[in-house]
Structure 1
Amino acid sequence: MYYRAITFLLTGFASCLAWNVSLNAADSKVTFEKEIRPIFKAYCFHCHGEEKELSGSLDVRLRRLLMKGGDSGEAIVPGKHAESLLYQYVESGEMPPDEKLRLKPEEVALIAKWIDQGASAGPEPKGDIKPGEFLITEDERTHWAFRPIRKTAVPEVTELVKEQNKTDVNPVDAFIARKLNDNGLWFSEEADRLTLIRRAAFDLTGLPPAPEEIKVYLADQSPDAYEKMIDRLLASPHYGERWARHWLDVAGYADSEGYNDKDIVRPDAWHYRDYVIRSLNADKPWDQFITEQLAGDELVKATHASAQKLVDQDPAVCEKLTATGFLRLAPDGTGSSPMDPAIARNQVITETVKIMSSSLLGMTIGCAECHHHRFDPIPQQDFYRLRAVIAPVYDAEKWRMPASRRAALMSPEDKAKAAKLTAEVKELDAEHNKVKAEVTQLIAERVLKEIPESEREQAKLAYETEVKKRSQEQAEFLKKKYPMLDLLVPGRLHLFLARYKDGNELKKRYEDIKEKADKLRAQIPQPEYIRVATEDPQHLPETFVFYRGDISSPEADKIEPGGLTVIGSETENVFPVNNPELPTTGRRLAYARYLTNGKHPLVARVLMNRFWMHHFGKAIVDSTGDFGSRSSIPTHPELLDWLAADFMEHGWQLKRIHRLIMTSRTYRQTSTAHSEKAASIDADNRLLWRMTMRRLEAEAIRDAILAVSGDLNREQFGVPVPVALSDSGIITVGAGKISEDRRELKRSIYIQVRRTQPVTMLNAFDAPSMEPNCERRVFSTVATQSLALLNSEFMRNQSVAFAKRVLASAGKDADDATLIKTAWKMALSAEPSAAEMQALEKSFALQLNEYESKKVKDPRQEALASLCHVLFGTNQFLYVE
């Protein structure tokens, strides 16, 4: 029967397929490259092309191979789908054989349509194609994201030039205007000043604008008042905190190892977080920023053996080594997991490759660990080429546990102080040991006097004999009859001091020396540590493809380090195995320079797409973490390329891009405009005919609450604020109390990120779980968010603090209307409308009456706190217009 001739075996990993195949109109042409081959690739390649032995001798990787048929003859009869064996078996459900893994009806219909239209295909690779050989078609190579970045001329839009001088047109507006104009749309009006400053402040600092900044901006009537406001925000130290949070998401930053329920704390990871904040505040070029994270150790020529010495000699080295903490962010259970150590190590390396590729390349290459990518032109070998790039810092044969991947940090002053105090303690310890021996002898004499005279000499002889040299008879004699003597050794002296504390001067001296030494010892500065990625030049690890991802089944051919095969020529993306000019292999440095040489088609596009998303709430390419063949179609591809090219041409500096985007007419539009025509043409606002209203992220909500209440601790950097499980079962910041240094009130970026203990309030508002990273956040609307804002002790405390701030600002003698207006302006950076004032005054009066009836201590403050609590929960507070 024909069953053997055409066997379409659907493997397990195809179960996650979610094809969005849309059937075209009846007369539209179905293309093999765009529509049919991806179906075959997902369902059939594994048995019919990727393996060295073809099932049924049928190869479906190319149209010309498919047309050869298999053991039982033709698989396709062009123009006649009903007579085609391939169609018969997929339509009947006999293929694939697993009933749970069937082609969808629309996919089967698409295959039938393609056959009926003649089963044609475009140009295909020529020459002999061997089974098992990975194919990349020309169509795959010319996918939009793999093409070179091209900076096209800024379009001239007549309607835009009519409204502005040609030289004043922002390039962003030109590209957006052309698309709007082509679709019968146009820009909405500009937002008012209060809306703009609130939007800009949250975008750049993650905090609401301070009243003083609002006052300065509103009073400035110069033509460039807006631009000056943007520059002040970019110069804010809080800018780095805001934009570091975006990068830390994709980098997978956490303060714990994750991997299992133990979730061991990473006490030193925070130095990397602070490095990112400082780098962004300094507007460090992103090509340098990327290179330092991938290969900071190679930039300073540090190895396992030399890293500590280099740090001690030159503090500047510390920054470069701290940057390599990027390669130490993946979940790591090698120090705590009961799993097979080899499997645990492999998992760490795999997760690191995933983080590296998703953050910098915007590609999902994880499935290529076990097999050729089911959708993208990524052979399994590519995964291991990237793995070979980082293999020297994750050497499975010379594995270093997390606690040993670090270097100590101490300032010259602390080193000098530590040396001085250590020397003093050493002298005291020597004196202390001498006195200890004398005190021990004194107490021994006391104990011996209490022993009957008949056994005293025997006990004395046994005691004075060194423990290791005592005879069995002596040891048993002391243990059974005189255990006090058996226990009396200098290390256990504290057990006897209380009993024999009779004012003896020698014992008092012993205790005084010990106390002094302990006090000095406590004053010795302790080093901090940075997590680093370094190599051991004495051992060069080799990389092999693991058959189906099984570490116990390495294939024979050794894999050299390199980039993705589909991008560039082989000479461009294959790197030295061991650079003789460096004490390290140089692999990561070569890879970083390859990524940032201005020719790579993905890196700048991926970064720019994310930057755009953080300003507009929507990306130009909606699939921010997947630029492969299943990516979303860019809404403005020429704009994305123009921005990416401009970014690289001008030194990879992000603050310049912020200015360009935020000074555009596109960015300054109102978000409240309503147009039935525009809504009917572009309901999702993909073309940006207005600004998109966006909900704040979890951290920005908490930070805004603290800023408005006046409780925000703006101290930067340092050890993470610990999280704790409260008695009520929620994860809180700190232990539910505010410490003297108010560290619990620092910005959310400084809160400890525990993978298994996300802060309950932040979790409610979709703070990501780093497993292993988060390339894009989700924004949900669920009841638990309202509950988190209404029923937490944190919200109650902040509402009271906010009320006190309002009273201090307006004055305790201020009337109700003044208090309400002051609170509204502080919380929302806006003026309340007449209707809003009426509703708030009525609510305030009801609350005041209620608290007065209960005879609380300060009913007016309590009523105001209730109103402040309400403001924290409004959409105007939680969203940015």
Structure 2
Amino acid sequence: MHFLALANRILRWGTTLAALLLPVPRLHAQAAEAPASDAAFFRDSVAPILQQHCLSCHNEAERRGGLSLSTATDLRAGGDSGMVVTAGDPEASYLLDLITPIDDEAEMPQAAPPLAAEDVATIRRWIAAGAAWPEDHRLRPPAWWSLTPLESPTLPEITGPPEITGPPSLSESTSAAANPIDRFIAAALDERGLARAPEADRRTLIRRLSFDLLGLPPSDQEIEAFVADSHPLAYERLVDRMLASPHYGERWARHWLDVVHYGETHGYDKDKPRNHAWPYRDYVIRALNEDKPYARFIEEQIAGDLLYPHTRDGIEALGFIAAGPWDFIGHVEVPETKIDGKIARHLDRDDMVQNTVETFLSLTVGCAQCHDHRFDPIPQADYYALQAMFSALDRVDRPYDVDPQIARRRHVLTERQQELDREHEQLTSQIAAAMCDAERREVREQIERLPAPALVYAGGIHHGSGSFRGTGPEGGQPRPIFFLARGDVTSPQQEVAPGVLSCLGDHLAPPQLAPAANDGERRAALAAWLSDRRNPLTWRSIANRLWLYHFGRGLVETPNDFGRMGEPPTHPELLDWLACQIRDAGEMREAGSHIDSGSSLKRVQRMIVTSATYRQRSAVVPSAVALEADPDNRFYWRMNRRRLEAEAVRDAMLVAAGRLDRRMGGPSYRDFVIEKPEHSPHYQYHLHDPDDPRAQRRSVYRFLVRSQTQPLMTALDCADPSMQVARRNQANTPLQALAMLNNQLPLAVSRHFAESVTRATGGEGSSGEIEAAVALAFRRAIGRDATADEQAALVAYARRHGLAATCRVILNLNEFLFVD
């Protein structure tokens, strides 16, 4: 018997003995009364407790400790420790020992708070009355919130918008009743006695919106034009212009690339460059700018070559499968027949599985390679079924044609060439063979005259090593995948058929795949299952990610974990409403319906950023009620103030200095020098010239190294491309200030910044010219005029230390580095 349970039993014996010596207070008379031993009491009072707190671990499929509490028969059978309930005798019932807390701790439920005292009392009364359990009553584990079917909730009824003080709003849409998002937020605020903060001023709003949608600061001319715009829909028109900007895709692609851990080197020991990874990055930018329906966005990244053949996007999108780290030694220098080779390929498929499930479904599956998931309904068999979905793939440089007409032409010619090759093998006549040879040469010459294909580093068909051949023109089959005991490649058990997660089986049937299904059938089925409108995880996941990047925190605080170890949503109805908007808008566009500002992601983002919730001030004095009810602003009674991400800081510095090159697409720029490229490359950032104009493009086009990250960007909490980053850290450390003051890039940018404002104001000779240059520098960087005190302090500093040093100070101001 467990020590805590034994101590519980001893303590309860002592308590029982003491109770015999004392009169029973009338206060507890009702609790001491035995309930009627009927089905109603069990169904209404006992079953909900067992279902909520016990069934997730003790059910027919997963009998922890050998115990199931699904049926009366299971209860009577007990578990590994014997009987858990002795009908009519609570003191002899092991179940009561397990759930009764001592010093606020109980053995059961594991990894969760103890049951409430009234729930323990209910179980005691039930056992004392005979532990009645109707034979036909079967308990099922409660569905976790994220696994329940997705249905659009009814909009909350609110009596009116929360009381707001301050300047008049920008448009009528500020009313809480006008925007559905505000109705959900207002209902939660009303429940807690909270009021929404006043609306932010126009300078704050345009800067907030510009960084959120474009990742770039607005120019001082754009700010002044918006401030002076008297049109009643000035803000909405600003939103529409930004959503239509090509810079939108650059901004939001960076968020996506964080999640899929996109990098341009392999990682591991020999961190060699991937010179053809960048087309996937450009695909993401292009897809987001086009507001591609999210279902198709998913399908292209899993099976674009199969579902959308001969298209550029259908091939470039497969960079998703190959986005993560890859062991060069384990794949190239070690054969697949060796143990180290098997481990490398197992880990490679593990990365594909985890990247797919965490990115699109926000569930963790990695631990299921060794054992059934400890908290979520993901058995080990499901994990290996998912590995089988990718078992034919490797990471390769895939040739493809950007022009779809050339792609189709190459496909027709290649098929004809293969037909002629087969015919030639069967010909016996020399004359017929000569004629066939002539046509083969002609077809080959036509293929050679086509433009050379482009290359993208992406998931590609495995062609094997040694005696193994993969799928492809040779007609091979995917690698066999085996259930591995404890995840050990040296302990294979039974072979596993391809499949998906079974936890959604009640409302989303898994695809029916034969064990011998080829690669195309497997990936096409997986893509269809992920993008299915009935898959609740898919749509909740992307809705939460949109909210996270606009507010700095998601409606679910753990964006890559919607399981039991993650956080539940603060506003579950709002999350489901947003998810349905994304899901159903895509369907409406497919049907040709008119939707404001397109559909899918952009449509929902427009609703978010035009809501009164988004347009609140961040700098407000919290009331005593707010500090007590919601000190972390989980219910959005104000806007969250956020520090800019590393890329936005770098790009904003270049914008202020007039040095940002806004050319889009193409190979990434390198802000390092490679040493020893022939073996294990060393990426030396300190040898790079910060004045190199090729490296003054937007940060989304930076060549991302896994083993040696860029020092300035790392100090500013840039995402590590070796791991999936669903939400970036926002640290505030002395190292950041030192990097911004002393790194070679801010030093060079500050010099160019000073030269730019000097040219614009006519020189740096006189006192008035220095004052004009300082004033212009402040306005460019901060978006407003300096106050008299700020101007005086900066001018005095410029006279002592020079204009370049002053520009460096301006670039280190909190108002430059943070968004209100």
- Which of the five TM-score ranges fits, normalised by the shorter chain? 0.7 to 0.9
The match for 1:832 is 786
Q: Deviations over 1:37-85 (max 9, x none)?
A: 56x67xxx9xx9858xx97xx4256585465335764345689887555
Q: Please tell me the residue identity of whatever aligns with 1:407.
A: P
The match for 2:306 is 298
Q: Deviations over 1:696-738 (max 9, x none)?
A: 11111111111111121212222222243799x9976584215
Matched, 1:138 2:132: no
Matched, 1:621 2:568: no
- 8 Å contact 2:500–2:510 — kept in the other structure? yes
- 8 Å contact 2:545–2:559 — kept in the other structure? yes
The match for 1:69 is 78
Q: Which whole-Å CA distance do the structure 1 matches of 2:113 and 2:153 have between them? A: 41
The match for 2:688 is 736
Q: Which whole-Å CA distance do the structure 2 matches of 1:613 and 1:228 have between them? A: 23
Identify the match of residue 533 of structure 1 among 429, 436, 459.
459
- 8 Å contact 2:740–2:812 — kept in the other structure? yes
By how many angstroms is 1:804 displaced? 1.6
Identify the match of residue 118 of structure 1 among 123, 142, 146.
123
The match for 1:822 is 776
The match for 1:780 is 731
Matched, 1:753 2:754: no
1:337/1:760 CA distance change after superposition, 3 Å: farther
1:810/1:734 CA distance change after superposition, 3 Å: same
Q: Which whole-Å CA distance do the structure 1 matches of 2:667 and 2:158 have between them? A: 52
Q: Which whole-Å CA distance do the structure 2 matches of 1:591 and 1:694 have between them? A: 37
The match for 1:249 is 258
The match for 2:206 is 197
Q: Which whole-Å CA distance do the structure 2 matches of 1:252 and 1:274 have between them? A: 15
The match for 1:876 is 815
- Pick which of 569-578 and 704-713 moved more: 569-578
Task: Give the number of aligned pairs.
Answer: 684
- 8 Å contact 2:96–2:123 — kept in the other structure? no
- 8 Å contact 2:99–2:120 — kept in the other structure? no
Q: Please tell me the residue identity of whatever aligns with 1:671.
A: S
Matched, 1:560 2:512: no
RMSD: 4.1
The match for 1:639 is 574
- 8 Å contact 2:161–2:176 — kept in the other structure? no
- 8 Å contact 2:319–2:458 — kept in the other structure? yes
Matched, 1:805 2:756: yes
The match for 2:399 is 407
Q: Please tell me the residue identity of whatever aligns with 1:870.
A: V
SS of corresponding position for 2:284: helix
Q: Which whole-Å CA distance do the structure 2 matches of 1:669 and 1:546 have between them? A: 53
The match for 2:274 is 266
- Pick which of 71-80 and 778-787 moved more: 71-80
- 8 Å contact 1:701–1:878 — kept in the other structure? yes
By how many angstroms is 1:838 displaced? 4.1
1:124/1:230 CA distance change after superposition, 3 Å: farther
SS of corresponding position for 2:347: helix
Q: Which whole-Å CA distance do the structure 1 matches of 2:274 and 2:779 have between them? A: 41
Q: Which whole-Å CA distance do the structure 2 matches of 1:232 and 1:750 have between them? A: 23
By how many angstroms is 1:782 displaced? 1.7
Normalization by structure 1: what TM-score?
0.70
The match for 2:187 is 178
SS of corresponding position for 1:261: coil
By how many angstroms is 1:212 displaced? 3.2
- 8 Å contact 1:87–1:111 — kept in the other structure? no
By how many angstroms is 1:412 displaced? 12
SS of corresponding position for 1:545: strand
Normalization by structure 2: what TM-score?
0.75
- Pick which of 160-169 and 371-380 moved more: 160-169
1:748/1:256 CA distance change after superposition, 3 Å: same
- 8 Å contact 1:298–1:584 — kept in the other structure? no
1:824/1:291 CA distance change after superposition, 3 Å: same
By how many angstroms is 1:547 displaced? 2.0
1:810/1:174 CA distance change after superposition, 3 Å: farther
Structure 1 residues 415-814: aligned runs within 5 Å = 528-535=454-461, 536-537=471-472, 538-541=475-478, 542-556=480-494, 558-569=495-506, 572-577=509-514, 585-651=520-586, 653-677=600-624, 678-724=626-672, 735-738=687-690, 742-812=693-763, 814=768
The match for 1:346 is 346
Q: Please tell me the residue identity of whatever aligns with 1:663.
A: T
Q: Deviations over 1:590-645 (max 9, x none)?
A: 22222223211111110010101100111111111111123322111111111111
By how many angstroms is 1:585 displaced? 3.3
SS of corresponding position for 1:533: strand
By how many angstroms is 1:154 displaced? 2.2
The match for 1:371 is 371
SS of corresponding position for 1:118: helix
Identify the match of residue 332 of structure 1 among 312, 322, 326.
326
Q: Which whole-Å CA distance do the structure 2 matches of 1:555 and 1:223 have between them? A: 68
SS of corresponding position for 2:705: coil
1:292/1:730 CA distance change after superposition, 3 Å: closer
The match for 1:277 is 285
By how many angstroms is 1:692 displaced? 0.5
SS of corresponding position for 1:160: coil
Q: Which whole-Å CA distance do the structure 1 matches of 2:536 and 2:61 have between them? A: 29
Q: Which whole-Å CA distance do the structure 1 matches of 2:82 and 2:405 have between them? A: 83
Q: Deviations over 1:435-476 (max 9, x none)?
A: xxxxxxxxxxxxxxxxxxxxxxxxxxxxxxxxxxxxxxxxxx
By how many angstroms is 1:375 displaced? 0.3
Runs of 5+ unmatched residues, structure 1 = 8-25, 94-101, 130-136, 302-315, 395-399, 416-523, 852-862
Q: Please tell me the residue identity of whatever aligns with 2:506.
A: S
Q: Which whole-Å CA distance do the structure 2 matches of 1:328 and 1:526 have between them? A: 23
Q: Please tell me the residue identity of whatever aligns with 1:765.
A: L
Q: Please tell me the residue identity of whatever aligns with 1:261.
A: D
Q: Which whole-Å CA distance do the structure 2 matches of 1:124 and 1:555 have between them? A: 40
Q: Deviations over 1:639-679 (max 9, x none)?
A: 11111111122116211112111111111111112132323
- 8 Å contact 1:80–1:115 — kept in the other structure? no
Q: Which whole-Å CA distance do the structure 2 matches of 1:213 and 1:233 have between them? A: 12
Larger-gyration structure (1/2): 1
Q: Please tell me the residue identity of whatever aligns with 1:530.
A: V
Q: Which whole-Å CA distance do the structure 2 matches of 1:91 and 1:343 have between them? A: 46
Q: Deviations over 1:5-44 (max 9, x none)?
A: x99xxxxxxxxxxxxxxxxxx9999944444556x67xxx
Q: Please tell me the residue identity of whatever aligns with 1:370.
A: C
SS of corresponding position for 2:536: coil
Runs of 5+ unmatched residues, structure 2 = 7-27, 32-44, 165-171, 408-449, 462-470, 587-598, 676-680
Q: Deviations over 1:320-361 (max 9, x none)?
A: 111111111232114356671111001000111000000000
Structure 1 residues 76-95: aligned runs within 5 Å = 76=85
- 8 Å contact 1:77–1:83 — kept in the other structure? yes
Q: Which whole-Å CA distance do the structure 1 matches of 2:648 and 2:88 have between them? A: 59
